[in-house]
Amino acid sequence: MTGDGRAPAWRGGFGRLWSAAVLSSFGDALRAAALPLLAVSLTHDPLLIASVTACGYLPWIVFGLLGGAVADRVDQRRAMGAVDATRGLLVAGFAVAVALGHASITLLIVLAFALTTLQTLFDNASTALLPALVDRDRLGSANARLMTGQRIAGGLVGAPVVPLLIAAGAAVPFAVDAATFLLAAALVSSLRTTAPEREPRAAGSTLRREIAEGLRLLWRDGPLRGLCAATALCNIGMGAQLATLVVLVTGWLDAGPAGYAAAGTAVTLGSLAGGVVNGRLVRRLGPVRAVLLAGAVQTGALVVMGTVRSLAALVAALAVFGVMGMVWNVNTTTLMQQRSPVELLGRVSSAFRTLANAGVPLGALLGGAAAGAWGLNTPPLLTAGFFVLAVAALIPARRPDVPVVAPHADATTGHPAR
């Protein structure tokens, strides 16, 4: 069984990587909150407004696999620094356009598509880089600290600051977001890591063949295959849940904007608690069984959301949902890093993310249709059904966790220059 291990050392590369991730999450929260408000001020067409959000998912489907293959070919540290610098310049240019009154829905759509396209490379490179900064037995704790820090920066710090920044000017949140990207780029570029040794690519090797190699490894590894299938099913349900939570709270519960804010806060606080309890669950159950437990508990929380007409019950259920969501996310990422050879990690990560994210837009449409046809409380129950299927997909993978890559081979763990 793969234990959660000791906490990672803050000195050296991990501390700077954590700081860069937290800064970026803060900026992302500002942009994510400001973009819809700007879109509504530019048009009242719901389809155009929804198109901005849709473009936040489309690049994963189109470019996700390519981003993973590129991440395995390049120096991940330099790639992440270059991507963040580029994103910072793009958002800075957008902030100038907003300040000068030149913003448009078309510009918002182009920006959302461009930023997420770059994110496909950044996220896969980040997943592949972490094992070069943290010892193998500390990956679980490192991922938990990264995700918890991002939740604090984005959910507890970033969101409340948005109204203050918008009051100072519509362009201000985007200017601050650009600054966080540029600071994160400087932090990542300052990392000094020993690049893992990679076998030379075979003659005639192409990106298409390398992508296929990552997909084959994901398919052959039983626990990863089960986790990917389960996450894809969950994300169809999550698309339905995210797209309709506002109507569940403001319509079915008649709780208004304050109730919706309480719902979002409950998820964030639950996620922070999940980062704390994850290590204990993993030590007791192992990562795959911890994910299995998380899915089962989340299913129960969703049933409560869709059947108990009480804001207090919804907030409590969402807090539990957030706890187990963090357990799920930390362990799926850690298992990818531990079970994949370093030269394939970017491609395995991209295959996992692309397949898992593909169902979100479909789920959003299903959730909207279900709410309209059968009632505003139907989407959580629909989501619970997908989570039941996800738990069933995980059951065959619950065997003891034996790494594919032998620990003594140092195949997934480099050592940073101190």
Residue type, 410: D
**Residues 13, 157 within the same domain:** yes
**240 in a structural domain:** yes
Q: Residue 342's closest CA among 228, 203, 209, 214?
A: 214
* Mean pLDDT along residues 71-86: 86
**335 in a structural domain:** yes
Span 345-362, pLDDT tens digits: 888 888 888 888 888 878
pLDDT surpasses 90 at 383: yes
CA distance 58 to 117: 9
pLDDT given for residue 319 in this prediction? 96
**Residues 85, 141 within the same domain:** yes
Q: Please report, rounded to a whole number, the percentage of residues in the chain having pLDDT higher than 70.
A: 85
Mark which of 167, 193, 219 sits at the end of a domain: 193
Structure tokens at 214: 């990552």
The mean of the pLDDT values for the chain is 82
**Residues 189, 245 within the same domain:** no
Mark which of 133, 167, 193 sits at the end of a domain: 193
The span from the first CA to the last CA of the chain, in angstroms, equals 30
**Residues 44, 100 within the same domain:** yes
**Residues 214, 184 within the same domain:** no
Distances, alpha carbon 337 to alpha carbons 138, 332, 403, in Å: 11, 9, 10
**Residues 64, 168 within the same domain:** yes
Distances, alpha carbon 312 to alpha carbons 44, 272, 385, in Å: 33, 19, 23
**Residues 148, 105 within the same domain:** yes
Q: Residue 376's closest CA among 219, 197, 246?
A: 246
* Mean pLDDT along residues 392-417: 50
**Residues 102, 185 within the same domain:** yes
Mark which of 193, 221, 252 sits at the end of a domain: 193
**384 in a structural domain:** yes
**202 in a structural domain:** no
What is the residue whose two structure tokens read 């039983």?
A: 222
What is the residue whose two structure tokens read 């234990």?
A: 3
**167 in a structural domain:** yes
Domain count, the chain: 2
**Residues 393, 262 within the same domain:** yes
pLDDT band at 415; cut points 50, 70, 90: very low
> What is the model's pTM?
0.73
**Residues 188, 275 within the same domain:** no
CATH number of residue 43's parent domain: 1.20.1250.20
Residue-range definition of the domain harbouring residue 280: 210-400
**218 in a structural domain:** yes
CA distance 160 to 137: 36
CA distance 94 to 107: 8
**408 in a structural domain:** no
**Residues 245, 279 within the same domain:** yes
pLDDT surpasses 90 at 58: no
**84 in a structural domain:** yes
More confident residue, 9 or 374: 374
HEC string for the chain: CCCCCCCCCCCCHHHHHHHHHHHHHHHHHHHHHHHHHHHHHHCCCHHHHHHHHHCCCHHHHHHHHHHHHHHHHCCHHHHHHHHHHHHHHHHHHHHHHHHCCCCCHHHHHHHHHHHHHHHHHHHHHHHHHHHHHCCHHHHHHHHHHHHHHHHHHHHHHHHHHHHHHHHHCCCHHHHHHHHHHHHHHHHHHCCCCCCCCCCCCCCCCCHHHHHHHHHHHHHHCHHHHHHHHHHHHHHHHHHHHHHHHHHHHHHHCCCHHHHHHHHHHHHHHHHHHHHHHHHHHHHHHCHHHHHHHHHHHHHHHHHHHHHCCCHHHHHHHHHHHHHHHHHHHHHHHHHHHHHCCHHHHHHHHHHHHHHHHCCHHHHHHHHHHHHHHHCCCHHHHHHHHHHHHHHHHHHHHCCCCCCCCCHHHCCCCCCCCC
**Residues 270, 134 within the same domain:** no
CA distance 71 to 74: 6
Span 117-171, pLDDT tens digits: 888 888 878 877 888 788 777 888 888 888 888 888 877 777 677 777 877 888 8
- Let me know if 212 is exposed, middle or buried by CB neighbors in 10 A (0-12, 13-18, 19+): middle
pLDDT given for residue 9 in this prediction? 63
pLDDT surpasses 70 at 7: no
